[in-house]
Structure 1
Amino acid sequence: MRVIAALLCIVSQAWTVNANVEKTIFLGPSAVPLPDVRPSLDDLRLHSLSSLEPILSTQLSVQFPSSTGPHGLESWYLLSGLEEGRRYEVRICWPATSPTDFWLDTYSITEVFDTPHLISSLAEYSEQLPGSNSRDSLNKQKLTGDTQSILLLRVQAAASYYSTNRTLMDYPPPVDVDIILDPFLLNLLPCSLAPVAIYITAVAVAAWFVSGYTYRWLLSVVEESSAKAHAD
């Protein structure tokens, strides 16, 4: 147990030094038909995360909390190709050198389109995105005219530092982030943690046998020393 605790401590400390992490956990919803009519999800030009492309490296604009935006700026993404009933985790990782607070929320398409402030936020974000011709590659597979288990992800980002540099306070720089979609194995453990779990299990099993062997060897040495003392 001490070996396992030490390994977990080392892993957590190394992760803390390199980056900060915020996450949300959810279940894949029921698949819904996506009508091939305009405007459609494709017209939103959102970045999409799926099992085929689970990691998105990007920059997020941030602002300091205000009365109109207590959680900073909002960004929207698609989570597509989900499996109904499967547990997923979405993580956002960013450098510890960029103090930022993040909030992650997932919504069904119906929930967003039926909630005025959510659809307004989504439309405002979509209007700020460049046209599809100037983007790298967002949705290589068209979503409309299909039936999928899909969710919309809202990321809220607020700068959380103070500086005497007035320009930095007025115009906080974008934050480099990785947004990761991570499915669970048997709805118990994120897939990305499986190698760590296997490694810790292997080390724990090896430590069990090594400690047993070491104990028996030390016991035999003590008994041998005791026997020699009695013989003398």
Structure 2
Amino acid sequence: MLQFLLALLLTLTTALANVEKTIFLAPTPSPFSSSSNITPDLSDLGLDLLSPENTIFRTKLNASFPSPANPEGTESWFLLEGLNPGQRYEVRVCWLATQPTSFTLSTYPLDAIIDDPSLLASISHFSSARVASVDGNNPKEIVPQVPNSHHAPSRPLRRTQSRDSDSVLFLRIHAAADYFTNEQRLMENVPPVIADVILDPFLGNVFPKSLVPTACWGLLVGVAAIGIARWVVKEFGRVILHGIGSKSAAGSTEKKGQ
């Protein structure tokens, strides 16, 4: 068994990556704020979607160095849909350590987007830029950087029907370059960051679902380690007892010889 574990450890590889995350409870569906007379056609926004059926999305997130206008870098918007109201979820951004970036994740319910003019303008401008830049044959094309704006949305949101059971959230990801280099090109034009955006539900609102295999593997290794430790102690004790017995037998033989 010891040889098997050693061989297994030799086959393990190290993944150099960074992770940033946010944890939240899915909101309970509720009527839209009475202060707003419009509701958005979410499918018309053209945002990338994450749901319990589609939990992982690989993309390229635009980033920029922090500035007075954008202290947290460049923003990107995603839509989280099909959530179970009241359930705890985690959204993670995983990216290579070779692309030093600082990420800030925030989630907003639909009411908050509609009631906050700055958020509404931000997501509307991002949506407009995305729809204008995405080619029909390349739906994952990178969205160009769009500055934040606190003016009225350039693209009107239309009224639509939504099911009472729907629980949706908007996810905003800020990406700020976190490096310094003597290469002027990289300082002037920050390359997009290849990242995985992951939606992970919690089991019983306690444990992330994606960590279940890791927990099972850790439990298996722990049980194996306990078994090996007991075997080592047993063998060590046997060797000691054998040594004591051999010494006693040798002493008895010497006495008889005298």
**TM-score, length of structure 1 as denominator length:** 0.83
What is the aligned counterpart of 1:224 among 223, 228, 242?
242
Provide the C-alpha distance between the structure 2 equivalents of 1:209 and 1:73, rounded to a whole number of angstroms.
Answer: 52
Give the aligned residue type for 2:177: A
Provide the C-alpha distance between the structure 1 equivalents of 2:102 and 2:170, rounded to a whole number of angstroms.
Answer: 20
CA distances 1:79-131 after superposition (whole Å, capped 9, x unpaired): 11111221111001111111111100011110121112211111111110126
Give the aligned residue type for 1:90: V
Aligned to 1:22: 20
Provide the C-alpha distance between the structure 1 equivalents of 2:139 and 2:163, rounded to a whole number of angstroms.
Answer: 23
Are the equivalent residues in 2 in contact too, given 1:42–1:144 (CA < 8 A)?
no
Structure 2: gaps (5+ residues): 1-9, 33-37, 141-159, 251-258
Are the equivalent residues in 2 in contact too, given 1:78–1:153 (CA < 8 A)?
yes
Q: How many residues align?
A: 212
Higher relative contact order (CA 8 A, sep 6+): 1
What is the aligned counterpart of 2:192 among 166, 174, 185?
174
Larger Rg: 1 or 2?
2
Structure 1: gaps (5+ residues): 1-9, 138-142
C-alpha deviation, 1:227, in angstroms: 1.8
Provide the C-alpha distance between the structure 2 equivalents of 1:61 and 1:220, rounded to a whole number of angstroms.
Answer: 64
What is the aligned counterpart of 1:145 among 162, 168, 173?
162
Are the equivalent residues in 1 in contact too, given 2:25–2:85 (CA < 8 A)?
yes
Provide the C-alpha distance between the structure 2 equivalents of 1:188 and 1:20, rounded to a whole number of angstroms.
Answer: 23
Are the equivalent residues in 2 in contact too, given 1:33–1:145 (CA < 8 A)?
no
C-alpha deviation, 1:194, in angstroms: 1.0
Higher strand share: 1
**TM-score, length of structure 2 as denominator length:** 0.75
What is the aligned counterpart of 2:180 among 162, 167, 171?
162
CA RMSD of aligned residues (A): 2.4
Aligned to 1:45: 46
> CA distance change for structure 1 residues 30 and 136 in 2, over 3 Å: closer, same or farther?
same
Are the equivalent residues in 2 in contact too, given 1:28–1:86 (CA < 8 A)?
yes
C-alpha deviation, 1:32, in angstroms: 4.1
Aligned to 1:79: 80
